[in-house]
Amino acid sequence: MPTITFTSQNGESTTIDDAEGDLMSLAVKHGVQGIEGDCGGVCSCGTCHVQVDPAWIDKTGPATDEEREVLDFEQSATANSRLCCQIEMSPELDGLVVRVVRS
């Protein structure tokens, strides 16, 4: 079953097995530091910002236009930035690694 790993600013990493649903909800459920998900996943608050490991960006795809409405105003955003509430776990993403941007 698919596995996802979040690495936080403090160097800690959290690996979640049998991951289902969107990444933000998974991170909040497992207490990943730096992921708040305040707006509940509608792409408004920007508190679930991650950078996708370059090896994975083709599989997750880049940020959508709506994510860009938020990310374009974040100084720390890069081409690999995503709001992880907009990424749904799937078998193709098994082994995905993302870096949490906020501490």
Partner 1 sequence: MTDPADPFSEQRRHDGVKLVRAEGQDVPLLLRLRDIKDVCNDTQSFSNDNPLMIILHSEAAVRDVRQLPIESDPPDHTEYRALVEPRFRRPKAPEYQAGIGAIIDSLLDDCLGSAEVEVVRGFALPLQSRGLAQLLGVDESEADLWISWGIHVFRDNELGPKGSELDRYLLAKIEEARESKGDDFFSELNRAEFRGRKLTVEEKHGFANMAFAGGRDTVIHTVSGVIAYVAQHPEALEFLREDANRINTAAEEFVRYVSPLTVITRTCPHATEVLGHEVAAGGRIGLCWPSANRDETVFRSPDQVILDRKPNPHIGFGFGPHNCLGQHQARAILRGLLRAVCDRVERVDLIAAEPEIEQESSYSRQVGYKSLRVRFCGR
Under the rule (CB under 8 A), what is the footprint of partner 1? 36, 38-45, 64, 66-67, 69-70, 72-73, 86
Backbone φ and ψ of 13, nearest 5°: -130, 150
> Minimum distance between the CB of residue 76 and partner 1, rounded to whole angstroms?
12
Q: Which amino acid is residue 55, in one-letter code?
A: A
Structure-block tokens of residue 91 = 């078998």
Q: Which amino acid is residue 16, in one-letter code?
A: I
Q: Which residue has the tokens 């078998």?
A: 91
> Minimum distance between the CB of residue 19 and partner 1, rounded to whole angstroms?
18
> Minimum distance between the CB of residue 40 and partner 1, rounded to whole angstroms?
4
Q: Which is nearer to partner 1, 34 or 41 (CB)?
A: 41
